[in-house]
Structure 1
């Protein structure tokens, strides 16, 4: 571990940031109540309160990648948490129109994007080797664990009043205080040996970086299918309704938590083929959805697909930290966060045009397209040995 970091103090700061990373999910259950409060508002605008923050987060991730090369981790964390607190708490007092709520959702998105860029950079700088990889897994497990808490809490509060959902953002004030005391007040520094390597190796590393970032985006394209299609799938096969879909989707979150906790075990089991195994898990999940149609097999498929996505999104940032210098890493991770957000948003469009190529049944065509895309990625990973070369 770098000598400028104090182990437990930095860990407290990291935990404070992971706690609020997915805080915007608390608003999703209140959309119906907001629509009832503003009956004349465009339903699409009301729905965007829960989704427009993703667009702002994508932009902020990219911008903060550059900002973080010029300011300290502490100052960046304070800025991100301040935006998150302002966007989440001001609607308690200012909520006369949907336009105001959309504006504040954008502010929340900017704060979330900043934090998702700071977290991996801070974790990579503070820890080395096996400990760094485990920390990435711990971060993902904690983020998704709290996301489940916020969704459940948001659903409960929405039954009282949609304004109550915004009170949950008070947790950002606690995180802000912890960040002030425990996030290190230093800039990303370059302690790596990348400056000593020759120009050809430098070009090769950037090739690996670009390839891994693109693969990350494709991971989100694949995993987002569960969010976009699960309700339609369960309805089509007469398995259940929206509430059943919500229960099945919880297995995607659960898979992320399990993968985060046991990433060390997965890495030892699959070695340099861990990324390929992750996409293999997605293929198995898609095959289950094609051939077996029950709730529990749907949940199992969701878990397998979620596991594959989580393994990739834990492993790739670790590999990128080996390939990029400490000073460049925030920019790389800002791009990583932005493109994974883009992949999630682009998923529905991707399968809209690829699914018909494989089947007249849109659902079956979607799952076949998932299998084909995953298989192509596996072939690329095995042939190029990207994970092995990046690990070294």
Structure 2
């Protein structure tokens, strides 16, 4: 097996994971093209992919115990590319664009769930952990490239932003010809083919890690959704400033992803706790600082926190899962992450927590408390000591 080519083929898929954000750059121009359509409906083009992803996560969990992960990846890439390129042909109706966005999200649900599965299948130990970090780094790089490329292409017409999804064809061909076909073993194909049976017999640590994933999804979503409000409350700048801070945060995630091996050496089994504390510091800086420089430092730390936690969680899930459980375990991971992001604003509203600085205060306290609990409970050490030994 050619390891460099294998790594490239898997990580190329990571470039697409945030591609649903591409069209959000064009919302302003789209409101002019559809003056009689409510802005909230146009914004659904950026939010409905999450629904498609959520549904696809469950579908992949069911299919992943029976079929080759490479085959499912190709299906996901095909659906993603079709959903992304179809608006170039049909773009006269917002309803059609929302439908295409759902298709795009459904395809991305396949891709996002399958990437950690493939890493878990083809890599072991420290190399697997390192690849999880590189996956989050490539997510960040893909976000930068796709947003930047979509912005350039859509400078004259917002429709042209969709040309950036031609990247999907390149990734599809790379996976088709370079990624080796994984074998579905006997246990996956027959004895444990019932996904609900597997769910019922999962290691208890899977559900504990799933809870941590849910909490991370809720808390991290607070940061980007309230950042512009905080900056406005502090009178530090306009929307463009928010974009710069978000870009800096994405760069931080990219750096942290490729540095995960060294971060693991520093924080060892406390890396998830350290990630939550780092995110807590991000909220603290955003809440107390009146300097744009400190806000940007917080943005970098948010990227580090995301990478540290969201790289380590699927790795932990993989080490406490049997091979035939990987598909279902990664389904739990992606499902909990998606649910967390979806319910985050709803939860804050139910708790009557004000947007902006109030939400940052809530996020700060929660992150420090969770980080402390993870340290006191020796979460990382307990998980690694309960790792599954195959064969």
Gap change, CA 1:205 and 1:94, over 3 Å in 2: closer
Gap change, CA 1:134 and 1:188, over 3 Å in 2: farther
- Structure 1 residue 112: deviation in Å? 0.4
Secondary structure of 1:45's aligned partner:
helix
- Structure 1 residue 363: deviation in Å? 3.3
Tell me what 1:266 maps to: 263
Q: In the alignment, which of 30, 40, 64 is matched to residue 44 of structure 1?
A: 40
Distance in structure 2 (CA, Å) of the matches to 1:186 and 1:320: 20
Gap change, CA 1:355 and 1:122, over 3 Å in 2: same
Query: TM-score w.r.t. structure 1 length?
Result: 0.90
- Structure 1 residue 140: deviation in Å? 0.8
- Structure 1 residue 345: deviation in Å? 2.1
Tell me what 1:391 maps to: 384
Matched, 1:381 2:391: no
Gap change, CA 1:158 and 1:203, over 3 Å in 2: closer
Any conservation in 1 of the 2:223–2:360 contact (CA below 8 Å)?
Answer: no
Any conservation in 2 of the 1:223–1:306 contact (CA below 8 Å)?
Answer: no
Q: In the alignment, which of 339, 343, 348 is matched to residue 345 of structure 2?
A: 348
Matched, 1:88 2:84: yes
Matches within 5 A, 1:171-186: 171-186=167-182
Gap change, CA 1:76 and 1:323, over 3 Å in 2: same
Matched, 1:122 2:118: yes
Tell me what 2:322 maps to: 325
Any conservation in 2 of the 1:141–1:258 contact (CA below 8 Å)?
Answer: yes
Matches within 5 A, 1:269-284: 269-284=266-281
Any conservation in 1 of the 2:11–2:134 contact (CA below 8 Å)?
Answer: no
Distance in structure 2 (CA, Å) of the matches to 1:155 and 1:273: 39
- Structure 1 residue 104: deviation in Å? 0.7
Gap change, CA 1:203 and 1:37, over 3 Å in 2: closer
Matches within 5 A, 1:183-194: 183-189=179-185
Tell me what 2:389 maps to: none
- Structure 1 residue 189: deviation in Å? 4.3
Deviates most, 203-212 or 154-163: 203-212
Tell me what 2:358 maps to: 365
Matched, 1:240 2:237: yes
- Structure 1 residue 314: deviation in Å? 0.4
Distance in structure 2 (CA, Å) of the matches to 1:217 and 1:326: 23
Distance in structure 2 (CA, Å) of the matches to 1:65 and 1:83: 17
Matched, 1:105 2:98: no
Distance in structure 1 (CA, Å) of the matches to 2:84 and 2:338: 21
Secondary structure of 2:67's aligned partner:
coil
Deviates most, 245-254 or 313-322: 245-254
- Structure 1 residue 188: deviation in Å? 4.6
| Alignment gaps of 5+ in structure 2 | 193-198, 386-391
> What is the root-mean-square deviation in Å for CA atoms of aligned residues?
2.2
- Structure 1 residue 69: deviation in Å? 1.3
Runs of 4+ in 1 over 4 A off after TM superposition: 188-191, 202-205
Tell me what 1:23 maps to: 19
Q: In the alignment, which of 250, 260, 272 is matched to residue 247 of structure 2?
A: 250
- Structure 1 residue 135: deviation in Å? 0.4
Tell me what 2:312 maps to: 315
Any conservation in 1 of the 2:82–2:104 contact (CA below 8 Å)?
Answer: yes
Any conservation in 1 of the 2:80–2:104 contact (CA below 8 Å)?
Answer: yes
Tell me what 2:143 maps to: 147
Tell me what 1:198 maps to: none
Gap change, CA 1:190 and 1:126, over 3 Å in 2: farther
Distance in structure 2 (CA, Å) of the matches to 1:372 and 1:187: 46
Distance in structure 1 (CA, Å) of the matches to 2:296 and 2:341: 20
Distance in structure 2 (CA, Å) of the matches to 1:119 and 1:267: 21
* Paired positions, count: 376
- Structure 1 residue 251: deviation in Å? 2.2
- Structure 1 residue 309: deviation in Å? 2.3
Distance in structure 2 (CA, Å) of the matches to 1:382 and 1:189: 37
Distance in structure 2 (CA, Å) of the matches to 1:237 and 1:369: 18
Any conservation in 1 of the 2:229–2:355 contact (CA below 8 Å)?
Answer: no
- Structure 1 residue 306: deviation in Å? 2.7
Matched, 1:168 2:164: yes
Deviates most, 26-35 or 99-108: 26-35
Distance in structure 2 (CA, Å) of the matches to 1:365 and 1:90: 41
Tell me what 1:300 maps to: 297
| Offset from partner CA, 1:319-343 (integer Å, 9 cap, x none) | 1100011111111112211221221
